Structure 1
Amino acid sequence: MYDHKKISHKKIKVFSALGPGLVTGAADDDPSGIVTYTQAGAKYGLGFAWVSLYSWPMMISIQEMCGRVGIVTGKGLIANIKEHYSKYTVYFVVGILLLANTINLGADIGAMASSLQLFVNLPFWLLSAMFFVLIVSLEVFLPYHKYAKILKWLCLSLFAYFLTAVIVQTNWSAVAFHTLVPKIFFDANFIFMLTALVGTTISPYLFAWQYDYSSSCFKRKWYYRDIKC
């Protein structure tokens, strides 16, 4: 028979660690991604719905691979690369990751500024600067545990997608058809948008996040029998 107190204790441990991991996972639905999806929908309608289905196995395999390595080694992505490859490889990978994350951060701030311009008649550069100062100020001056708790509750905003799907008059048969049947155009704009969709769906920092989260599970002596990765 199972020890219910032990199971409850494990659940408490899992939920207590849900904060930063949940926030980082939800952060993949970032402003730049939302703007990219919006542009794709505005220009091609449901023409890119199939991307979500066919990129799903790739995302699962990548995250699963990162998670397994993190749990087995108990180390993050960069630590594993440092252990098995030369320092120049580490510098190269860290540099590429830093560049990609910086560009991604800039795109997110720009998307937030552009979205706010729909409601406020202020210059783009000013709104971008305001968001940058706000984010840095929260990171520096707000205690980490309070900041993480606020961000965790903000993850509830993701339910807006479900509410939107219920509120708008969606042709679900058309959604199912375009999700299952790819519609491909061999032109530069289509290829560019396809690249943007895949790139914003599988962001580079997700690899580091999955590695670090899984390695933290290892350090807490959690395994696949205790958690669902």
Structure 2
Amino acid sequence: MDSAHVGDIVGALGSIGQHDTLEGRSRLQRFRMLLAVIGPGLIVMVGDNDAGGVATYAQAGQNYGMALVWTLVLLVPVLYVNQEMVVRLGAVAGVGHARLIFDRFGKFWGAFSVGDLFLVNALTIVTEFIGVSMALNYFGLPKGIAVPLAAVLLFAMVAGGSFQRWERFLFGLIALNIVIFPLAFLVHPKASQIAHGFLPSFPGGLNSTLLLLIVAIVGTTVAPWQLFFQQSNIVDKRITPRWIRYERIDLWVGIVVVMLGAVAIMAATTFGLAGTGAAGKFTDAGAVAEALHDHMGTTVGALFALLLLDASLIGANAVGLATTYALGDTLGKRHSLHWKITEAPLFYAGYAALLAVAAAVSFSPDHVLGLLTQGVQALAGVLLPSATVFLVLLCNDRAVLGPWVNTVKQNIAAGVIVWSLVLLSLALTAATFFPGITTGTLELGFGVGALIGVLGGAGMLIAWQRNRRQATERTAKEFGNLDPDQVEELDATSLNRAERKAILQADRDTWRTPALDTLERPVFSPARTAGMLALRGYLLVAVILVGVKVVQAIGG
């Protein structure tokens, strides 16, 4: 563990001593402590509405009106379930997501997971520079100046050697998101039309084009980089288990902000471009700003461009840090914003190199960049099931989380999410291979897939309960004087007898993961290994198909 990850919580809105507790605190003092904790959840959610997010939501509104708002509603539980799991992992384990995967599953699976992250994140940062370029081009600043200027600013934001200064800078950028509300108001939205969008529908039929957009909405709203960023940022902010309940509030604040922003962006293009020649003809976010300028006036166009610029800077910063946090985890090097450049040279050099490469790629032809933006979001959506599987496995690892492991309800919710994402990517695969497939056939496929998921989930739940009962019986024989609740806490683990007793005696809010190198690594059963390999193989095919769709679109 990086030594900078231990100490007082020093946030943008206050600080908390390392050994402070809630005992004897007034409501005002507790509220101030909440403000000090707020940060990782809010930043990761607002960073979710990055350049790719703005472009994807704008495309949904411009091409389909408010008809796809329902997809955002379904993603709220996905956001919370996924990110709440990394909240617990970060606070309890005190290490980043990449470090846990490597330590618990080995280099083979760690390389798969981190390899996905590096690929998607590098491409995502390219889209952030695309957003910066388009936004500043609206205000008359050429790409040759806009992109290098943004790269320098992004590096300066993190290179000060102060976590608190970095977080305050991010909070300043987040505050600029308030332009979303006047933007949505000025296009004169219709409440009835927005409300109708909450009802699930497939405008124009469920074809590969619509599926790709839905997958892109999923990928831009719930991206794999968010798991790595929030867990590492919680560790870097020094949040411990006693503050998990406050970090959950932080997460909900972020979810509300990101959902309001997504709906507002859809509304801006839906109502701002309705009845114009631009309706149904999305090309890129820069063209949206120009179209809003032409049809709704200078103010609306400028607000959209400013929103795009702000979103791009926040997204590039968060995604870049997610990558370099993971790099530090993988290589075992210092990776904290508390360190100065001279104290953590690899951390800052990796961040600078990532920005430089992404900035260079962003000078590709405009029509390629516009399609790349959507393709990256779809790629993130396709790879999300794999990231979620590792997340669920870690959150069921009692050696790592002790009393903080997933409950049955949390596992059921996570299982539904993973299977739903797999079904969505399967539908995209089918629609790509067979362009003439009908909406009815795809809906039937979803129904069959849901049935398979229910039956498979029931079988897994029965097997899990049987294994837990057997483990409980073994534990009860070893500790004959324990009550049922204590026996459940002592479910089979890789900890020794003394450590298992310590779990029962320790207070939940102070329990931390033992040194990872002292824990016995969990062993995959043949069935689990086969399932993981099958999932990885399928996702590889799905990634190729997303690339095929993007190439087809580029070629007209």
Q: TM-score, normalised by structure 1?
A: 0.82
| Corresponding residue to 2:194 among 175, 196, 204 | 175
Matched, 1:191 2:241: no
Name the residue aligned to 2:229: 209
Name the residue aligned to 1:95: 115
| Corresponding residue to 2:173 among 131, 147, 154 | 154
| Aligned-partner Cα distance in 1 for 2:210–2:28 | 50
Matched, 1:30 2:50: yes
**2:214 alignment partner AA:** L
Name the residue aligned to 2:164: 145
Query: CA 1:142–1:3 in 2, change beyond 3 Å: closer, same or farther?
Result: closer
Name the residue aligned to 2:183: 164
| Aligned-partner Cα distance in 2 for 1:71–1:38 | 36
Whether the 8 Å contact between 2:37 and 2:243 is mirrored in structure 1 is no
| Aligned-partner Cα distance in 2 for 1:84–1:37 | 37
Whether the 8 Å contact between 1:19 and 1:148 is mirrored in structure 2 is yes
Query: CA 1:139–1:212 in 2, change beyond 3 Å: closer, same or farther?
Result: closer
Query: CA 1:144–1:83 in 2, change beyond 3 Å: closer, same or farther?
Result: closer
**1:199 alignment partner AA:** G
Offset of residue 19 of structure 1? 4.1
Offset of residue 7 of structure 1? 4.5
**1:179 alignment partner AA:** F
5 Å matches for 1:76-115? 76-115=96-135
Whether the 8 Å contact between 1:20 and 1:152 is mirrored in structure 2 is no
Larger radius of gyration: 2
**1:217 alignment partner AA:** I
- Count of aligned pairs between the two proteins: 226
Offset of residue 169 of structure 1? 1.5
Name the residue aligned to 1:131: 150
Name the residue aligned to 2:84: 64
Name the residue aligned to 2:36: 16
Whether the 8 Å contact between 1:14 and 1:227 is mirrored in structure 2 is no
Whether the 8 Å contact between 2:40 and 2:234 is mirrored in structure 1 is no
Name the residue aligned to 1:45: 65
| Aligned-partner Cα distance in 2 for 1:105–1:50 | 28
CA RMSD of aligned residues (A): 2.9
Task: Look up the SS of the partner of 1:222 in the other structure.
Answer: helix
Whether the 8 Å contact between 1:19 and 1:149 is mirrored in structure 2 is no
Which whole-Å deviations, capped at 9, do the CAs of 1:9-38 have from their partners, x for residues lacking one? 443333223345533332221122112211
Name the residue aligned to 1:218: 240
Higher relative contact order (CA 8 A, sep 6+): 1
| Aligned-partner Cα distance in 2 for 1:180–1:60 | 21
Offset of residue 152 of structure 1? 0.8
| Aligned-partner Cα distance in 2 for 1:205–1:74 | 18
Offset of residue 52 of structure 1? 0.8
Which whole-Å deviations, capped at 9, do the CAs of 1:30-89 have from their partners, x for residues lacking one? 122112211221122212212111222222221222223334434331232123111222
| Aligned-partner Cα distance in 1 for 2:104–2:166 | 36
